[in-house]
Amino acid sequence: MAAALAAPAWSQSPDATAKPGRVDDSAAARAAESNVRLPALGESASDEFNLNAEKRLGEQIMREVRRDPDYLDDPVLLDYLQALWQPLVRTARARGDIDKDSDGLFPYEAFLVRDRSVNAFALPGGYVGVHLGLIGLTATRDELASVLAHELSHVTQRHIARSIVASQRSSTLSLAAMLLGVLAASRAGSADMAQAAIMGGQAAAAQAQLNFSRDMEREADRNGYALMTQAGYAPSGMAAMFEKLDSANRINDSGGFPYLRSHPLTVDRVGEARQRASAATTPAFGNAPAHAGALRHALMQARSRVLMDPSTQSVRRQQETVPRSDATPMQRLAALYTRALASMRLRDFTLAEETLAAGTPLLADSDARLAWAQLNAELAIARAQPQLAAQALAALPADGTRSQLLLRSQLALLANDDTALRDSTEALQAWAAEHRGDAGAWRALAATAERMNQPLRSLRAQAEAQAALGDLPGAMDRLRAGQLLAKRGGPNIDFIEASVIDARMRELIAQRRQLMAEQRGDRGQPRQADPD
């Protein structure tokens, strides 16, 4: 999944609030120091690989990523990932790590990859991918947030641009070294000397790139630590994550920890993380309790383990999960959540219902009650029981999260209720207008609009879903169908929607022309008119 262009690899977080009371001088000094923006060393790459070039490259990669079968759109897990990710992005803006130029160009989007390996990676243009295996490994939200902060720092410090520029420079140096070596060897008449010169030049270039990556890793550690603590996460999260990776490194990960190879752990990096954690005190800007969001993270960890491997054999193993006799209430709920979700995936609805009922007496935490209500709603919709689904969704607060929005649209379609369909359609339209790249929301809008006999809105939503996935020909095909339908006319033709379709078609034609020009390398040069 375009890993070659990734940066050299590795409960909802409340906003940080100040705590009353006097702060000692050392703590104040540390807090002041953490508010100082680290040097933006990546700005040196701006001239050779600017923000617009990085944005175009990132969009090109993401078009391929979104079509990959391992690209996962699980609304519940994505809501949780966003709950951790967005405070980091807001803090990066407040610190000045994200400037106005990049903020207007980059989406700063975190996405999920269905893979059991422990990995996360940054891509050009502000995208960060997270493997489900990483979520399954982390024991707390702070550990996961430390990885997200590290990867976000790769983006904000422009490490990808620096890597590309450095790679180009080292390639030039390598070529020059090889040419000089071959010239000297030819004068000496030695083939062995020529081979040695070639290998020496390649080794020198590789070593220069390796040193460059290590510097970037240390910079991302420092910036990521300041970022996560100012966003309200526990300072111990990064050190705890390093402890896990260090242990895996010492016992040979056997390929399951790609983060270790893309983010090599040195003694200095591990030691610095431990030193920061041991020296940290509660900052002046406040911090969440260490146990905050523990239950929600445990449940999302369980969900990741079920979804990371879709094979029947793997899901059956998860279905066999049972709470240990000495398990804590949180561990029991996580085990029951795993068993219930795996049963749903296997369409063993009776066992899923029994498992959820077994966990109901343990729901003493608001996070647990919300997770159980959501899972009950998923189960009722899967079993085509609209009344039970409505009861489960009624227990959820109308918080505007994407997972609830999509669940309510599924319920509206299942119940075939005109009022619910109208409300869901309007809610989806408002969401999709703000999140243009959300293919799942566009698909849901297409379904509800079609049920409401709004064919043009449905066709445009289908086109937007294809465009969000990078399938421009498919999107244009849907828009052409809408144009033909509008020309034929009829009682359910919305001419405002028809105008939107025409305008959108012109936008996609221009976008396709630009992509074709970039592929030919003649961007900005005159060409014949596109037949479309």
CATH code: domain of residue 456: 1.25.40
Within a domain: 327: no
Within a domain: 466: yes
**Residue 399's pLDDT band (cuts 50, 70, 90):** confident
3-state secondary structure of 112: strand
Q: What is the pLDDT of residues 272-329, one digit of tens each?
A: 877 887 776 544 333 444 455 899 999 999 999 999 999 999 999 999 999 888 999 9
Which of 239-243, 321-325, 489-493 has the lowest average pLDDT?
489-493
pLDDT score, position 60: 85
Within a domain: 472: yes
Does 21 or 488 have the greater pLDDT score?
488
- Sorted by sequence, the CB contacts under 8 Å of residue 109 that are 6+ apart come out as 126, 127, 128, 437
pLDDT above 70: residue 5: no
Q: Is residue 422 domain-shared with residue 275, that is, in the same domain?
A: no
Nearest residue to 89 via CA among 72, 74, 103: 103
Q: CB count, 10 Å around CB of 291?
A: 11
pLDDT score, position 191: 52
Within a domain: 477: yes
Q: Could you say which of 255, 279, 303 is where a domain stops?
A: 279
Within a domain: 194: no
Average pLDDT over residues 67-92: 95
Average pLDDT over residues 117-133: 92
**Rounded to 5 degrees, what are φ and ψ at 214?**
-65, -40
Burial 370-384, CB ≥16 within 10 A → b, else e: bbbbbbbbbbbbebe
Amino acid at 401: T
Q: Cβ distance 347 to 355 under 8 Å?
A: no
Q: How many domains does the chain have?
A: 2
pLDDT score, position 369: 93
3-state secondary structure of 531: coil
Within a domain: 391: no
pLDDT score, position 398: 78
142, 236, 462, 484, 503 from 473: Cα distances, Å: 42, 49, 12, 17, 16
Chain-centre distance of CA 7, in angstroms? 14
CA angle 493, 496, 497 (to 5 degrees): 65
User: What is the C-alpha separation between 150 and 225, in angstroms, rounded?
Assistant: 8
Nearest residue to 466 via CA among 427, 498, 436: 436
Which of 47-56, 225-234, 445-454, 507-516 has the lowest average pLDDT?
47-56
Which of 8-22, 152-166, 213-227, 510-524 has the lowest average pLDDT?
8-22
Within a domain: 40: yes
Q: What is the pLDDT of residues 55-67, one digit of tens each?
A: 888 888 898 899 8
**Residue 441's pLDDT band (cuts 50, 70, 90):** very high
Q: Could you say which of 245, 263, 279 is where a domain stops?
A: 279
**Rounded to 5 degrees, what are φ and ψ at 33?**
-65, -40
**What residues make up the domain containing 42?**
3-158+219-279
User: What is the C-alpha separation between 478 and 194, in angstroms, rounded?
Assistant: 59
Which one-letter DSSP state was computed for residue 18? P
Which of 143-152, 249-258, 509-518 has the lowest average pLDDT?
249-258
Q: Could you say which of 232, 263, 279 is where a domain stops?
A: 279
Within a domain: 462: yes
pLDDT above 90: residue 175: no
